[in-house]
Amino acid sequence: MPEFDLAIRGGTVVTAADTFPAEIGIRDGRIAAVASRVGDAARTIDAGGLLVLPGGIDSHVHIDQPSGPGIVMADDFASATRAAAAGGNTCVMPFALQPRGESLREVAAAYRAKAEGRCHIDVAIHLIVSDPTPAVLGQELPALITAGYTSFKVFMTYDDLVLNDRQILEVFEVARREGARVMVHAEGYDTIRYLSERLERSGQTGPYGHALSRPQPVEREAAHRAITHAELVDLPIVIVHVSGEEAMEQIAWAQGRGLKIHAETCPQYLTLTAEDMKGLGAEDPIAGAKYVCSPPPRDAASQAAIWSGLQRGVFDLVSSDHCPFRYDDPQGKLNPKGRTSFRWIPNGLPGIETRLPLLFSEGVSKGRISLNRFVALTATNHAKLYGLYPRKGSIGPGFDADLTLWDPKRRETITQKNLHHGSDYTPWEGFAVTGWPVMTIAGGQVIAEEGRILSEPGRGRVLDRTIDRAGPFA
Protein backbone atom coordinates (compact mmCIF):
# COMPACT_ATOMS: atom_id res chain seq x y z
CA MET A 1 0.00 0.00 0.00
CA PRO A 2 1.45 3.43 -0.94
CA GLU A 3 2.74 5.54 1.92
CA PHE A 4 1.09 8.71 0.59
CA ASP A 5 -2.09 9.61 -1.24
CA LEU A 6 -0.23 12.17 -3.35
CA ALA A 7 3.40 13.05 -3.96
CA ILE A 8 4.62 16.23 -5.64
CA ARG A 9 8.08 15.79 -7.10
CA GLY A 10 10.58 17.93 -8.96
CA GLY A 11 9.42 21.36 -7.82
CA THR A 12 10.98 24.20 -5.88
CA VAL A 13 9.23 24.74 -2.54
CA VAL A 14 8.82 28.36 -1.48
CA THR A 15 7.75 29.54 1.97
CA ALA A 16 7.91 32.96 3.58
CA ALA A 17 11.35 32.03 4.95
CA ASP A 18 12.98 29.54 2.55
CA THR A 19 13.32 28.42 -1.06
CA PHE A 20 14.56 24.87 -1.69
CA PRO A 21 14.08 21.83 -3.94
CA ALA A 22 11.98 19.18 -2.21
CA GLU A 23 9.30 16.57 -2.62
CA ILE A 24 6.04 16.71 -0.70
CA GLY A 25 4.08 13.71 0.56
CA ILE A 26 0.39 14.19 1.31
CA ARG A 27 -1.83 11.93 3.39
CA ASP A 28 -5.45 12.43 4.49
CA GLY A 29 -5.58 15.98 3.22
CA ARG A 30 -2.49 17.16 5.11
CA ILE A 31 1.19 17.47 4.37
CA ALA A 32 2.88 14.44 5.92
CA ALA A 33 6.44 14.89 4.67
CA VAL A 34 8.70 17.45 3.01
CA ALA A 35 12.04 15.92 2.06
CA SER A 36 14.57 15.47 -0.70
CA ARG A 37 12.78 12.22 -1.45
CA VAL A 38 9.40 10.94 -0.22
CA GLY A 39 8.06 7.43 -0.60
CA ASP A 40 5.55 5.85 -2.93
CA ALA A 41 2.20 7.52 -3.52
CA ALA A 42 -1.09 6.58 -5.10
CA ARG A 43 -0.68 9.58 -7.40
CA THR A 44 2.40 11.55 -8.37
CA ILE A 45 2.48 15.06 -9.83
CA ASP A 46 5.57 16.20 -11.70
CA ALA A 47 6.28 19.81 -10.71
CA GLY A 48 9.50 20.07 -12.68
CA GLY A 49 10.25 23.69 -13.56
CA LEU A 50 7.49 24.94 -11.26
CA LEU A 51 7.35 26.67 -7.91
CA VAL A 52 5.35 24.97 -5.16
CA LEU A 53 3.74 27.71 -3.07
CA PRO A 54 1.35 27.66 -0.12
CA GLY A 55 -2.16 28.15 -1.48
CA GLY A 56 -3.13 31.79 -1.56
CA ILE A 57 -5.23 33.14 1.31
CA ASP A 58 -7.31 36.18 0.40
CA SER A 59 -8.40 37.60 3.74
CA HIS A 60 -10.50 40.49 2.42
CA VAL A 61 -13.27 39.57 -0.01
CA HIS A 62 -16.96 40.43 -0.29
CA ILE A 63 -19.27 37.62 -1.41
CA ASP A 64 -23.07 37.57 -1.66
CA GLN A 65 -23.31 40.58 0.64
CA PRO A 66 -26.16 43.11 0.96
CA SER A 67 -25.29 46.10 -1.24
CA GLY A 68 -28.16 48.56 -0.99
CA PRO A 69 -31.62 48.86 -2.56
CA GLY A 70 -31.73 47.53 -6.09
CA ILE A 71 -28.03 46.55 -6.13
CA VAL A 72 -26.94 42.90 -6.36
CA MET A 73 -23.43 41.59 -5.85
CA ALA A 74 -22.17 39.58 -8.82
CA ASP A 75 -20.74 36.59 -6.93
CA ASP A 76 -22.26 33.98 -4.69
CA PHE A 77 -20.09 31.52 -2.79
CA ALA A 78 -19.94 29.00 -5.62
CA SER A 79 -18.77 31.47 -8.28
CA ALA A 80 -16.41 33.43 -6.01
CA THR A 81 -14.62 30.37 -4.65
CA ARG A 82 -14.45 28.88 -8.15
CA ALA A 83 -12.69 32.02 -9.36
CA ALA A 84 -10.43 32.08 -6.31
CA ALA A 85 -9.36 28.49 -6.93
CA ALA A 86 -8.57 29.19 -10.57
CA GLY A 87 -6.37 32.07 -9.40
CA GLY A 88 -4.28 29.90 -7.07
CA ASN A 89 -6.15 30.50 -3.79
CA THR A 90 -7.16 27.83 -1.31
CA CYS A 91 -8.90 29.94 1.35
CA VAL A 92 -10.87 33.20 1.31
CA MET A 93 -12.32 35.31 4.10
CA PRO A 94 -15.62 37.14 3.40
CA PHE A 95 -17.80 39.24 5.70
CA ALA A 96 -21.10 38.68 7.47
CA LEU A 97 -22.50 42.23 7.44
CA GLN A 98 -24.81 43.35 10.24
CA PRO A 99 -27.54 45.68 8.94
CA ARG A 100 -28.52 48.20 11.58
CA GLY A 101 -31.27 46.98 13.85
CA GLU A 102 -30.50 43.30 13.26
CA SER A 103 -28.99 40.71 15.57
CA LEU A 104 -25.30 40.11 14.87
CA ARG A 105 -25.69 36.50 15.97
CA GLU A 106 -28.56 35.91 13.53
CA VAL A 107 -26.67 37.63 10.71
CA ALA A 108 -23.64 35.40 11.26
CA ALA A 109 -25.78 32.24 11.26
CA ALA A 110 -27.61 33.23 8.09
CA TYR A 111 -24.42 34.11 6.27
CA ARG A 112 -22.76 30.87 7.29
CA ALA A 113 -25.77 29.00 5.89
CA LYS A 114 -25.21 30.73 2.55
CA ALA A 115 -21.65 29.40 2.45
CA GLU A 116 -22.09 25.86 3.69
CA GLY A 117 -22.29 23.31 0.89
CA ARG A 118 -21.47 25.83 -1.84
CA CYS A 119 -17.72 26.49 -1.65
CA HIS A 120 -14.92 25.03 -3.76
CA ILE A 121 -12.29 26.06 -1.18
CA ASP A 122 -12.27 26.72 2.55
CA VAL A 123 -13.69 29.98 3.88
CA ALA A 124 -13.39 31.69 7.26
CA ILE A 125 -15.89 34.42 8.02
CA HIS A 126 -15.23 37.89 9.44
CA LEU A 127 -18.03 39.97 10.95
CA ILE A 128 -18.96 43.57 10.14
CA VAL A 129 -20.26 45.46 13.18
CA SER A 130 -22.50 48.38 12.19
CA ASP A 131 -24.81 48.57 15.21
CA PRO A 132 -22.86 48.15 18.47
CA THR A 133 -25.80 48.12 20.85
CA PRO A 134 -25.34 47.11 24.49
CA ALA A 135 -26.63 43.63 23.60
CA VAL A 136 -24.14 43.30 20.75
CA LEU A 137 -21.18 44.55 22.79
CA GLY A 138 -22.09 42.76 25.98
CA GLN A 139 -23.41 39.45 24.70
CA GLU A 140 -23.48 38.73 20.98
CA LEU A 141 -20.02 39.85 19.89
CA PRO A 142 -18.14 38.15 22.77
CA ALA A 143 -20.12 34.93 22.19
CA LEU A 144 -19.39 34.97 18.46
CA ILE A 145 -15.68 35.55 19.04
CA THR A 146 -15.61 32.57 21.39
CA ALA A 147 -17.49 30.51 18.80
CA GLY A 148 -14.77 31.07 16.17
CA TYR A 149 -15.58 34.41 14.50
CA THR A 150 -12.36 35.90 15.82
CA SER A 151 -12.10 38.95 13.56
CA PHE A 152 -14.41 41.77 12.59
CA LYS A 153 -14.42 44.98 10.60
CA VAL A 154 -15.59 48.47 11.43
CA PHE A 155 -16.22 51.34 9.03
CA MET A 156 -15.43 55.03 9.44
CA THR A 157 -17.63 55.93 6.44
CA TYR A 158 -20.79 54.90 4.48
CA ASP A 159 -24.25 55.98 5.63
CA ASP A 160 -25.38 52.54 6.79
CA LEU A 161 -22.10 51.36 8.30
CA VAL A 162 -20.22 54.30 9.83
CA LEU A 163 -19.41 54.21 13.55
CA ASN A 164 -18.68 57.37 15.49
CA ASP A 165 -15.56 57.73 17.59
CA ARG A 166 -17.23 56.62 20.83
CA GLN A 167 -18.61 53.51 19.15
CA ILE A 168 -15.21 52.66 17.66
CA LEU A 169 -13.60 52.90 21.08
CA GLU A 170 -16.29 50.68 22.57
CA VAL A 171 -15.90 47.93 19.98
CA PHE A 172 -12.11 48.20 20.26
CA GLU A 173 -12.44 47.61 23.99
CA VAL A 174 -14.47 44.43 23.40
CA ALA A 175 -11.86 43.22 20.92
CA ARG A 176 -9.04 43.87 23.37
CA ARG A 177 -10.81 42.02 26.17
CA GLU A 178 -11.81 39.05 23.99
CA GLY A 179 -8.62 38.82 21.90
CA ALA A 180 -10.27 39.52 18.53
CA ARG A 181 -8.64 41.05 15.47
CA VAL A 182 -10.18 44.32 14.20
CA MET A 183 -10.01 45.55 10.62
CA VAL A 184 -10.66 49.25 9.96
CA HIS A 185 -11.94 50.92 6.80
CA ALA A 186 -10.35 54.34 7.30
CA GLU A 187 -12.03 57.18 5.41
CA GLY A 188 -13.64 60.27 6.93
CA TYR A 189 -17.43 60.15 6.62
CA ASP A 190 -18.35 63.81 7.09
CA THR A 191 -15.56 65.02 4.84
CA ILE A 192 -16.65 62.72 2.03
CA ARG A 193 -20.26 63.91 2.36
CA TYR A 194 -19.15 67.54 2.25
CA LEU A 195 -16.93 67.06 -0.81
CA SER A 196 -19.53 64.92 -2.62
CA GLU A 197 -22.23 67.53 -2.20
CA ARG A 198 -19.89 70.28 -3.36
CA LEU A 199 -18.91 68.31 -6.47
CA GLU A 200 -22.52 67.59 -7.35
CA ARG A 201 -23.44 71.27 -7.01
CA SER A 202 -20.67 72.10 -9.48
CA GLY A 203 -21.85 69.44 -11.94
CA GLN A 204 -18.90 67.07 -11.49
CA THR A 205 -21.03 63.94 -11.27
CA GLY A 206 -19.13 61.49 -13.51
CA PRO A 207 -17.18 58.52 -12.14
CA TYR A 208 -14.01 60.60 -11.76
CA GLY A 209 -15.87 62.65 -9.17
CA HIS A 210 -15.56 59.62 -6.91
CA ALA A 211 -11.79 60.16 -6.74
CA LEU A 212 -12.23 63.88 -6.11
CA SER A 213 -14.65 63.18 -3.25
CA ARG A 214 -12.11 60.95 -1.48
CA PRO A 215 -8.69 62.61 -1.82
CA GLN A 216 -5.72 61.34 0.16
CA PRO A 217 -6.22 63.66 3.18
CA VAL A 218 -9.60 62.00 3.81
CA GLU A 219 -7.88 58.62 4.20
CA ARG A 220 -4.87 60.08 6.02
CA GLU A 221 -7.01 61.76 8.69
CA ALA A 222 -9.12 58.67 9.31
CA ALA A 223 -6.07 56.41 9.48
CA HIS A 224 -4.50 58.67 12.08
CA ARG A 225 -7.74 58.75 14.08
CA ALA A 226 -8.03 54.95 13.98
CA ILE A 227 -4.42 54.64 15.12
CA THR A 228 -5.08 57.06 17.98
CA HIS A 229 -8.10 55.08 19.16
CA ALA A 230 -6.12 51.84 18.95
CA GLU A 231 -3.31 53.38 20.99
CA LEU A 232 -5.72 54.57 23.68
CA VAL A 233 -7.26 51.10 24.01
CA ASP A 234 -3.92 49.28 23.50
CA LEU A 235 -5.31 47.20 20.65
CA PRO A 236 -3.55 45.81 17.55
CA ILE A 237 -5.58 46.69 14.43
CA VAL A 238 -5.38 46.13 10.69
CA ILE A 239 -5.95 49.18 8.49
CA VAL A 240 -7.25 47.72 5.26
CA HIS A 241 -6.98 48.66 1.58
CA VAL A 242 -4.45 51.44 2.10
CA SER A 243 -4.37 53.32 -1.19
CA GLY A 244 -1.86 56.15 -0.96
CA GLU A 245 1.33 57.56 0.43
CA GLU A 246 -0.28 59.83 3.02
CA ALA A 247 -2.19 57.13 4.91
CA MET A 248 0.83 54.84 4.64
CA GLU A 249 3.01 57.50 6.26
CA GLN A 250 0.67 57.56 9.27
CA ILE A 251 0.94 53.79 9.61
CA ALA A 252 4.72 53.81 9.30
CA TRP A 253 4.87 56.58 11.93
CA ALA A 254 2.77 54.48 14.31
CA GLN A 255 4.84 51.36 13.69
CA GLY A 256 7.98 53.38 14.36
CA ARG A 257 6.57 54.27 17.79
CA GLY A 258 6.06 50.59 18.57
CA LEU A 259 2.29 50.50 18.06
CA LYS A 260 0.84 47.24 16.74
CA ILE A 261 -0.67 48.64 13.56
CA HIS A 262 -0.85 46.24 10.63
CA ALA A 263 -1.57 47.34 7.08
CA GLU A 264 -3.09 45.82 3.97
CA THR A 265 -3.03 47.04 0.38
CA CYS A 266 -4.47 45.70 -2.87
CA PRO A 267 -3.47 45.24 -6.53
CA GLN A 268 -5.65 48.17 -7.63
CA TYR A 269 -3.39 50.54 -5.72
CA LEU A 270 -0.31 49.05 -7.36
CA THR A 271 -1.53 48.95 -10.96
CA LEU A 272 -4.47 51.36 -11.51
CA THR A 273 -4.79 55.14 -11.14
CA ALA A 274 -7.59 57.65 -10.69
CA GLU A 275 -7.23 58.48 -14.37
CA ASP A 276 -8.93 55.16 -15.16
CA MET A 277 -12.15 56.60 -13.69
CA LYS A 278 -12.25 59.20 -16.47
CA GLY A 279 -13.39 56.42 -18.79
CA LEU A 280 -13.13 56.86 -22.54
CA GLY A 281 -13.90 60.56 -22.60
CA ALA A 282 -16.76 61.72 -24.80
CA GLU A 283 -16.92 58.28 -26.42
CA ASP A 284 -18.03 56.59 -23.18
CA PRO A 285 -17.64 58.82 -20.11
CA ILE A 286 -19.45 56.40 -17.79
CA ALA A 287 -16.98 53.55 -18.50
CA GLY A 288 -14.90 54.85 -15.59
CA ALA A 289 -17.54 53.31 -13.30
CA LYS A 290 -15.66 50.02 -13.75
CA TYR A 291 -12.85 51.42 -11.58
CA VAL A 292 -14.90 52.96 -8.76
CA CYS A 293 -13.82 51.53 -5.41
CA SER A 294 -13.11 52.96 -1.98
CA PRO A 295 -10.58 54.25 -1.35
CA PRO A 296 -10.05 55.07 -5.02
CA PRO A 297 -6.82 54.36 -6.92
CA ARG A 298 -4.44 57.33 -6.65
CA ASP A 299 -1.56 58.35 -8.93
CA ALA A 300 1.81 57.03 -10.05
CA ALA A 301 3.59 58.62 -7.08
CA SER A 302 1.33 56.76 -4.66
CA GLN A 303 1.87 53.51 -6.56
CA ALA A 304 5.61 53.94 -6.07
CA ALA A 305 5.10 54.74 -2.40
CA ILE A 306 2.99 51.62 -1.82
CA TRP A 307 5.64 49.47 -3.53
CA SER A 308 8.22 51.04 -1.22
CA GLY A 309 6.01 50.20 1.75
CA LEU A 310 5.79 46.59 0.62
CA GLN A 311 9.56 46.43 0.37
CA ARG A 312 10.16 48.11 3.75
CA GLY A 313 7.69 45.97 5.68
CA VAL A 314 5.03 48.60 6.32
CA PHE A 315 2.47 46.24 4.81
CA ASP A 316 1.76 42.75 6.08
CA LEU A 317 -0.97 41.82 3.58
CA VAL A 318 -1.97 42.11 -0.04
CA SER A 319 -5.65 41.22 -0.43
CA SER A 320 -7.98 41.69 -3.37
CA ASP A 321 -10.86 43.48 -1.61
CA HIS A 322 -12.90 41.57 -4.19
CA CYS A 323 -16.26 43.36 -4.27
CA PRO A 324 -17.83 42.38 -7.60
CA PHE A 325 -20.68 44.05 -9.43
CA ARG A 326 -21.72 43.66 -13.00
CA TYR A 327 -20.99 46.71 -15.13
CA ASP A 328 -23.67 46.71 -17.81
CA ASP A 329 -26.53 45.86 -15.47
CA PRO A 330 -29.34 47.92 -13.88
CA GLN A 331 -28.54 46.15 -10.60
CA GLY A 332 -24.81 46.86 -10.90
CA LYS A 333 -22.48 49.72 -11.80
CA LEU A 334 -24.87 51.19 -14.40
CA ASN A 335 -27.94 51.24 -12.21
CA PRO A 336 -30.32 54.13 -13.00
CA LYS A 337 -29.07 56.35 -10.16
CA GLY A 338 -25.46 55.41 -10.84
CA ARG A 339 -25.78 56.86 -14.34
CA THR A 340 -26.61 60.23 -12.79
CA SER A 341 -23.85 60.58 -10.19
CA PHE A 342 -20.72 58.87 -8.89
CA ARG A 343 -22.39 58.88 -5.48
CA TRP A 344 -24.66 55.98 -6.53
CA ILE A 345 -22.13 53.81 -8.36
CA PRO A 346 -21.56 50.67 -6.27
CA ASN A 347 -18.07 50.74 -4.80
CA GLY A 348 -15.91 47.76 -5.57
CA LEU A 349 -13.91 45.80 -8.13
CA PRO A 350 -13.69 42.11 -9.05
CA GLY A 351 -10.21 40.82 -8.29
CA ILE A 352 -10.27 37.49 -6.46
CA GLU A 353 -8.79 35.59 -9.42
CA THR A 354 -6.21 38.15 -10.54
CA ARG A 355 -4.61 39.13 -7.19
CA LEU A 356 -1.79 36.59 -7.28
CA PRO A 357 -0.78 36.97 -10.96
CA LEU A 358 -0.77 40.77 -10.70
CA LEU A 359 1.37 40.88 -7.57
CA PHE A 360 3.76 38.18 -8.80
CA SER A 361 4.21 39.83 -12.19
CA GLU A 362 4.57 43.40 -10.97
CA GLY A 363 6.42 42.41 -7.80
CA VAL A 364 8.52 39.27 -8.21
CA SER A 365 9.00 39.22 -11.99
CA LYS A 366 10.02 42.89 -12.01
CA GLY A 367 12.39 42.50 -9.07
CA ARG A 368 10.46 44.65 -6.60
CA ILE A 369 9.88 41.91 -4.01
CA SER A 370 11.34 38.47 -3.39
CA LEU A 371 9.58 35.14 -3.79
CA ASN A 372 9.55 34.73 -0.02
CA ARG A 373 8.03 38.17 0.49
CA PHE A 374 5.36 37.29 -2.09
CA VAL A 375 4.40 34.20 -0.07
CA ALA A 376 4.29 36.19 3.16
CA LEU A 377 2.09 38.90 1.64
CA THR A 378 -0.36 36.50 -0.03
CA ALA A 379 -0.60 33.54 2.34
CA THR A 380 1.52 33.27 5.50
CA ASN A 381 0.73 36.62 7.09
CA HIS A 382 -2.99 36.22 6.39
CA ALA A 383 -2.96 32.90 8.26
CA LYS A 384 -0.98 34.35 11.16
CA LEU A 385 -3.03 37.53 11.54
CA TYR A 386 -6.43 35.86 11.35
CA GLY A 387 -6.01 32.66 13.36
CA LEU A 388 -5.42 30.09 10.63
CA TYR A 389 -1.76 29.39 11.38
CA PRO A 390 -0.21 26.78 11.63
CA ARG A 391 -3.07 25.02 9.90
CA LYS A 392 -2.66 27.11 6.76
CA GLY A 393 -0.24 29.59 5.23
CA SER A 394 2.96 27.55 4.80
CA ILE A 395 4.39 24.21 3.69
CA GLY A 396 5.45 21.71 6.32
CA PRO A 397 4.31 18.52 8.07
CA GLY A 398 0.91 19.00 9.69
CA PHE A 399 -0.26 21.88 7.48
CA ASP A 400 -3.32 21.44 5.30
CA ALA A 401 -2.23 20.23 1.87
CA ASP A 402 -3.19 23.55 0.26
CA LEU A 403 -0.71 24.24 -2.52
CA THR A 404 -0.35 26.15 -5.76
CA LEU A 405 1.95 25.03 -8.55
CA TRP A 406 3.24 28.19 -10.20
CA ASP A 407 5.00 28.75 -13.51
CA PRO A 408 7.20 31.81 -12.90
CA LYS A 409 8.03 32.28 -16.59
CA ARG A 410 4.62 31.85 -18.13
CA ARG A 411 3.23 34.89 -19.90
CA GLU A 412 -0.49 35.46 -20.00
CA THR A 413 -2.83 38.34 -20.77
CA ILE A 414 -5.71 38.87 -18.34
CA THR A 415 -9.04 38.91 -20.12
CA GLN A 416 -12.63 38.61 -18.98
CA LYS A 417 -13.40 35.63 -21.22
CA ASN A 418 -10.90 33.47 -19.33
CA LEU A 419 -12.00 34.39 -15.80
CA HIS A 420 -14.47 32.55 -13.59
CA HIS A 421 -16.06 35.27 -11.43
CA GLY A 422 -19.66 36.44 -11.70
CA SER A 423 -18.87 39.94 -12.94
CA ASP A 424 -19.08 40.82 -16.64
CA TYR A 425 -15.72 42.63 -16.78
CA THR A 426 -12.24 42.82 -15.27
CA PRO A 427 -10.50 46.15 -14.56
CA TRP A 428 -7.32 44.52 -15.87
CA GLU A 429 -8.58 43.64 -19.34
CA GLY A 430 -5.54 43.25 -21.61
CA PHE A 431 -3.01 43.49 -18.75
CA ALA A 432 0.04 41.31 -19.55
CA VAL A 433 1.57 39.32 -16.68
CA THR A 434 4.55 37.04 -16.20
CA GLY A 435 3.92 34.22 -13.73
CA TRP A 436 0.77 32.12 -13.59
CA PRO A 437 -0.90 29.43 -11.43
CA VAL A 438 -1.10 26.16 -13.35
CA MET A 439 -2.57 23.94 -10.62
CA THR A 440 -4.35 24.47 -7.31
CA ILE A 441 -4.42 21.69 -4.71
CA ALA A 442 -6.72 22.02 -1.69
CA GLY A 443 -6.83 19.42 1.06
CA GLY A 444 -4.69 17.16 -1.12
CA GLN A 445 -7.12 17.28 -4.05
CA VAL A 446 -6.43 18.90 -7.40
CA ILE A 447 -9.26 21.38 -7.70
CA ALA A 448 -8.08 23.56 -10.60
CA GLU A 449 -5.69 22.92 -13.47
CA GLU A 450 -4.87 25.16 -16.42
CA GLY A 451 -7.98 27.24 -15.80
CA ARG A 452 -10.30 24.23 -15.52
CA ILE A 453 -12.23 23.78 -12.29
CA LEU A 454 -12.13 20.12 -11.25
CA SER A 455 -13.93 20.32 -7.90
CA GLU A 456 -17.61 20.56 -7.07
CA PRO A 457 -19.24 23.19 -4.85
CA GLY A 458 -19.35 21.88 -1.31
CA ARG A 459 -15.84 20.47 -0.96
CA GLY A 460 -14.74 23.62 0.85
CA ARG A 461 -15.39 23.99 4.58
CA VAL A 462 -16.47 26.91 6.74
CA LEU A 463 -13.70 27.20 9.31
CA ASP A 464 -13.94 28.31 12.91
CA ARG A 465 -10.87 29.91 14.45
CA THR A 466 -9.43 30.12 17.94
CA ILE A 467 -7.84 33.02 19.82
CA ASP A 468 -4.05 32.89 20.08
CA ARG A 469 -3.03 35.75 22.36
CA ALA A 470 0.62 34.67 22.25
CA GLY A 471 0.82 34.12 18.48
CA PRO A 472 3.35 35.65 16.07
CA PHE A 473 1.06 38.61 15.32
CA ALA A 474 -0.49 38.97 18.78
pLDDT tens by residue, 341-375: 999 999 999 999 999 999 999 999 999 999 999 99
pLDDT for 283: 63
Give the angle subtended at the CA of 151 by the CAs of 149 and 156, to the nearest 5°: 130
pLDDT for 141: 98
DSSP annotation of 432 reads: E
| Average predicted confidence (pLDDT) for the chain | 97
Mention every residue, 6+ apart, whose C-beta is less than 8 A from residue 437: 86, 87, 88, 356, 357, 404, 405, 406, 407, 448
Average pLDDT over residues 241-261: 98
Average pLDDT over residues 133-137: 98
pLDDT for 281: 66
Question: How does pLDDT run across 256-298, given as a tens digit for each residue?
Answer: 999 999 999 999 999 999 999 998 765 677 899 999 999 999 9
- Judged by average pLDDT, the poorest of 94-98, 203-207, 468-472 is 468-472
Average pLDDT over residues 241-246: 97
pLDDT for 280: 74
H/E stretch holding 447: strand 445-449
pLDDT for 334: 95
- Judged by average pLDDT, the poorest of 64-78, 407-421, 457-471 is 457-471
Mention every residue, 6+ apart, whose C-beta is less than 8 A from residue 156: 162, 163, 168, 184, 185, 186, 187, 188, 189, 222, 225, 226
Q: Which residues in 90-110 are b (16+ Cβ under 10 Å) and which e?
A: bbbbbbbbbeeeeebbebbee
Sign of the CA dihedral with 423 first, then 245, 185, and 389 last: positive
Average pLDDT over residues 321-327: 98
pLDDT for 468: 79
pLDDT for 282: 54
Query: Beta partners for 19?
Result: 14
How much of the chain exceeds pLDDT 90, in percent?
Answer: 96
- Taking 80 as the threshold, does the pLDDT of residue 188 lie above it? yes
pLDDT for 216: 98
Cα dihedral 158→216→289→414 (10° resolution)? -120
pLDDT for 379: 98
Question: How does pLDDT run across 38-51, given as a tens digit for each residue?
Answer: 999 999 999 999 99
pLDDT for 17: 98
How much of the chain exceeds pLDDT 70, in percent?
Answer: 99
- Taking 90 as the threshold, does the pLDDT of residue 469 lie above it? no
Average pLDDT over residues 69-93: 98
Residue 328 CB neighbour total at 10 angstroms:
11
- Judged by average pLDDT, the poorest of 82-96, 163-177, 251-265, 280-294 is 280-294
Residue 147 CB neighbour total at 10 angstroms:
12
- Judged by average pLDDT, the poorest of 104-108, 283-287, 422-426, 458-462 is 283-287
pLDDT for 279: 82
Mention every residue, 6+ apart, whose C-beta is less than 8 A from residue 122: 90, 91, 392, 400, 402, 442, 443, 460, 461, 462, 463
Q: How far is the C-alpha of 365 from the C-alpha of 378, rounded, in Å?
A: 15
